[in-house]
Amino acid sequence: MQIIQIAIDGPAGSGKSTVAKIVAQNLRITYLDTGAMYRAVTYEALNNHIDLDDSTALRRLVDEIDLKITLESVNINGKDCTEAIRMPEVTQNVSYVAKDAYVRKKMVALQQKIAGDQSVVMDGRDIATHVLPKAPYKYFLVATPKERAKRRLLELEAKGIHITLEEMIAEIEARDKIDQERATAPLVQAKDAKLIDTTALTIDDVVQLILADVLKAGVKRH
């Protein structure tokens, strides 16, 4: 069977996770939300009152954590944390955990293992550059900070969480800065990745662009 690797990168709120999930469903292949992996580590660190700048403590945590992620759920040490990892406190701190070199090394190794013998659509911030550098299909999604903030607000409001647009824009821009400036695997467009500005596009628009590109290249639905 043909192995397909599709890498979708981009900053917070660019739509990459939603797009990646639908593309995977259309092609009937595995979807892996790498962001959920870093969120899970962040949630567990906060839950255990770990200083996010304490590399030794983070190393111990990531070595011991029992993490299971499926399309529907995130399970940490036997506990369903699917909703908990999406809470604002985790969102505000995940970039600090994700920049830790050892945490990234462990997560990347796990991601590569998952993609080793099956077709996958994987989204994140360093998929095309570090996790799956040889993936034949690479996309980099972007949108303006204001548009990305609006999308995040809609997600939070659906959960009964309310903050201002200005606060969300500031949070988005702060996360971008951390992600782009971290020493290990910073957020950057791979040279061979196709840029898609999603600001004025619907989710379906972006999905169809990627599917058309992949199917045009001869990929068959599994």
Phi-psi category of 56—alpha, beta or left, where left has phi over 0 and alpha has psi -120 to 50? alpha
Residue 14 counted as an annotated binding residue: yes
pLDDT, average across residues 121-131: 94
Residue 194 counted as an annotated binding residue: no
Residue 73 counted as an annotated binding residue: no
User: What is the per-residue pLDDT across 1-20, written as a single tens digit (0 to 9) for each?
Assistant: 678 999 999 999 999 999 99
Residue 45 counted as an annotated binding residue: no
Among residues of the chain, what percentage have pLDDT more than 90?
80
Please give the structure tokens belonging to residue 168: 């969300």
The SS3 assignment for 151 reads: helix
Pairing of strands 74-76, 67-69: antiparallel
- Domains along the chain with CATH numbers: 5-213 (3.40.50.300)
H helix or E strand, kind and range, residue 9: strand 5-9
Total residue length of the chain: 222
Asked whether the beta carbons of 92 and 3 are under 8 A apart, the reply is no
What is the arrangement of strands in the sheet containing 5-9, beginning at the earlier edge strand? 30-33, 120-124, 5-9, 137-142, 194-197
User: What is the per-residue pLDDT across 158-210, written as a single tens digit (0 to 9) for each?
Assistant: 888 889 999 999 999 999 999 999 988 899 999 999 999 999 999 999 999 99
The pLDDT of residue 1:
60
Residue 34 counted as an annotated binding residue: no
Residue 17 counted as an annotated binding residue: yes
Residue 136 counted as an annotated binding residue: no
Per-residue pLDDT at 221 exceeds 80: no
The pLDDT of residue 210:
96
The pLDDT of residue 191:
96
